[in-house]
Structure 1
Amino acid sequence: MSKSSEGRIVWNHSTHLDGLIPILEKLITYEGVKTVTPAVLSRSRSHSPHMKLKISVPIRGGFKLIARCGKSVQEVFVITELDKSRLEEIIKGIL
């Protein structure tokens, strides 16, 4: 688990899921994670009692993640040179 302080969080929105920012702050400490951008916050019909963060789809230069907690859902874009399996390992370790 190599860490460096190269990543950054882009603050586009004033609202975020409760508990999401501390998770993202840990994520950006990992080598290979360049930029993390919390994006659209919306409501869902289903209820997720605990914070969940999963990789949704690949994007150019990284992945789109979906964060879920309660009835709220937020997209998170991660620009990284890591592959999907390594990013999943890191997320699992953080959660």
Structure 2
Amino acid sequence: MGRLVHTHSTYIDGLISILKSVAKDEEIKTITPGVIARVRGNSGKLKIKITRKIKGGFKLIARKGKSAQEVYILTNYDNTELEDKINKLLT
């Protein structure tokens, strides 16, 4: 079972509940939400996309409305396995 690090006082709506569900997986080591930024586009519902591989895991971007938040996940999964897990939780 992974660990969800609470580093900020604010998060994108609905993100923490999704990340808590992802953290229950045995292959997930650590999940760390990062910086929140304003973006030009407008996303109606929460979307999470893997952007790049980092040492020991992946960097993701969570978007909802006019906000985007970085999320770092340390895991042994490959790109497609992690993407499938997150997509199942979002639907």
Q: Same fold (TM over 0.5)?
A: yes
Partner residue in 2 for 1:60: 55
**% identical aligned pairs:** 50
How far residue 31 of structure 1 moved from its aligned partner, in angstroms, is: 1.9
CA RMSD of aligned residues (A): 0.5
Partner residue in 2 for 1:16: 11
Determine the C-alpha separation between the residues in 2 that align with 1:51 and 1:11: 19
Determine the C-alpha separation between the residues in 2 that align with 1:81 and 1:35: 11
Structure 1: 5+ residue runs without aligned partners?
A: 1-5
**Residues paired across the two proteins, number:** 90
Structure 2: 5+ residue runs without aligned partners?
A: none
Instruction: State which of 70, 84, 88 in structure 2 corresponds to 1:93.
Output: 88
Displaced runs of 4 or more, over 2 A: none
Letter of the 1:85 partner, please give it: T
